[in-house]
Homo-oligomer: A and B are copies of this chain.
Amino acid sequence: MMSLGDDREVLREAPVGVFDSGVGGLTVVREIMRQIPNEKIIYFGDTARVPYGSKSKETITRYSRQIVRFLREQKVKAIVAACNTASAYALSEIEKEIDIPIIGVVKPGAKVAAEVTRNGRVGVIGTEGTVGSRIYSTYIKEIKPEIQVLGKACPLFVPLAEEGLWQDPVTDEIAKRYLSELIESDIDTLILGCTHYPLIRSTLGRIMGEKVTLVNPAYETARELRELLEQEQLLNRKKQELGMNCHRFYVSDMADKFQSFANSILKYGILSAKKIDIENY
């Protein structure tokens, strides 16, 4: 017979579930691997239904519910919605429906932005869905109501990042256009409100100038995940062996393409990505 203590130990070694509409969430995975390397990760990328940023709240909530059902079947101990659109649209409903911790990328990013701004002017860039939801503004104003939050949707950044144009005159030109309003508005803090954006971080930093602090919610989310697991006594104390054998990657389509993109983002190659039929969940 197992004691309660044993159960907790088993639970500690359970994996963390991470999901995104596609490959963008891998920037969050990268941060989790850096900050809490003992944790096993089960990743799901919804590559059949990407992008989420231009879809409705109703649709994104339905998709997120299916993914959460899939991840729970994999016996994860906690879930990270590593997608700004899913965090903005679906998280508040889903956290009421499940009994394991779930965090998104929005709250951690909002918290840090509220802390670091000095002039009280924060910019947010993201998909149409994320920016239109005004979710960063809601969270930031809960912390400091006097902060002004300016949003700008940047729909071309995701396809440019996925085409690999991370440092390219075209990405520069598009970024200059998207960011000009924010620069004129004299913000001192810019939230990268889409998990793809860390890939073009150096372009964004150069254009915004060194007086503007870039907030990367991927980094803040990994930190918050660590705190949450510590607090719930769920941090895995067993050291992982080197290599990626302990992590598992699932997608809803195009596993090969996902795998090669993942290999360009993560430090070491993933063994394989497996395709599942998410619409059955």
- Cα distance A257–B162 in the bound complex, in angstroms: 24
- Cα distance A56–B275 in the bound complex, in angstroms: 11
- Cα distance A34–B160 in the bound complex, in angstroms: 35
Within A127-148, which residues are at the interface with B (CB < 8 Å)? none
* Known pairs A48-B59, A155-B159; A254 contacts B173 (CB<8 A): no
How many of these chains are in the complex?
A: 2
- Cα distance A170–B155 in the bound complex, in angstroms: 14
Which residues of chain B have C-beta atoms less than 8 A from A59's C-beta?
48, 253
CB of A116 within 8 Å of the partner chain: no
Whether B54 contacts A254 by the Cβ 8 Å rule is yes
Q: How far is the CB of A255 from chain B (nearest CB, A)?
A: 9
**A residues contacting the other copy or chain, number (CB 8 A):** 22
Whether B159 contacts A56 by the Cβ 8 Å rule is no
Which residues of chain B have C-beta atoms less than 8 A from A174's C-beta?
170
Q: How far is the CB of A24 from chain B (nearest CB, A)?
A: 14
- Cα distance A238–B198 in the bound complex, in angstroms: 58
- Cα distance A83–B47 in the bound complex, in angstroms: 19
- Cα distance A257–B174 in the bound complex, in angstroms: 22
Within A150-198, which residues are at the interface with B (CB < 8 Å)? 155-156, 158-160, 162-163, 169-170, 173-174
Which residues of A come within 8 Å of B, CB atoms? 47-49, 54-56, 59, 155-156, 158-160, 162-163, 169-170, 173-174, 253-254, 257, 279
